[in-house]
């Protein structure tokens, strides 16, 4: 079983280990076609209690090591993950997240991304954190920009979602002085 640090922000936002008692609420929030429309096809839709339990089991078994529940006023609002890369990309991690519709428009996700990014740089010693965002997902692009990410590249026709070809925006934040690097 992996343990994640509890990260507390302002405005009643906390990132912490997902608690089993929150799985039912998590499943209800995640069972939203609008969430699945902006995530990889591996994210189940519809999202059931069994899907929440399977995700939780992967965390408990140590197969997913960097997953946090996003809590707002001590109530689960979504999930955020960091996926460290390997080999020559070992200095990098991919950030991924979703937030339930009742929590949109409160600045929760921008704060969650900022908290986890700072943790990735400080505690995990990452130099680069990135997200692949579907070109049509303007809200996610704005969240990342508020957290200090910038558009590094547009990957043309890189993803197929629901049978339609889309561009993907590669959003990046680095913890490195690029002027001193080769």
**Domains, the chain, ordered by start:** 7-180 (3.40.630.30)
Rounded Cα gap, residues 74 and 12, in angstroms: 8
User: Which residues of the chain have a pLDDT value below 50?
Assistant: none
Share of the chain above pLDDT 90, in %: 90
Q: Rounded to the nearest 10 degrees, what angle do helices 108-122 and 138-146 cross at? A: 50
**Contact by Cβ (8 Å): 153, 130:** no
Pairing status of strand 75-84 against strand 92-99: antiparallel
How confident is the model at residue 4, as a pLDDT?
Answer: 84
Name residue, tokens 């690097």.
181
pTM of the model: 0.92
How confident is the model at residue 3, as a pLDDT?
Answer: 75
Q: How far is CA 46 from the centre of its chain?
A: 19
């Amino acid at each position: 079983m992996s343990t994640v640090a509890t990260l507390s922000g302002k405005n009643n936002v906390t990132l912490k280990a997902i608690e089993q008692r929150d799985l039912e609420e998590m499943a209800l929030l995640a069972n939203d076609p609008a969430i699945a429309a902006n995530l990889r096809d591996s994210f189940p839709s519809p999202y059931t209690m069994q899907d929440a339990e399977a995700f939780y089991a992967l965390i408990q078994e140590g197969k997913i090591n960097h997953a946090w529940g996003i809590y707002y006023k001590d109530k689960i609002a979504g999930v955020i993950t960091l996926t460290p890369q390997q080999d020559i990309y070992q200095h990098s991690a991919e950030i991924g997240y979703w937030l339930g519709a009742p929590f949109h428009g409160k600045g929760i996700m921008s704060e969650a991304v900022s908290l986890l990014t700072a943790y990735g740089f400080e505690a995990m010693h990452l130099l680069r954190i990135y997200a692949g965002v579907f070109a049509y997902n303007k809200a996610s692009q704005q969240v990342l920009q508020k957290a200090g990410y910038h558009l590094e590249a547009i990957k043309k026709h890189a993803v197929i979602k629901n049978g339609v070809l889309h561009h993907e925006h590669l959003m990046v934040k680095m913890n490195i002085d690029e002027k001193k690097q080769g």
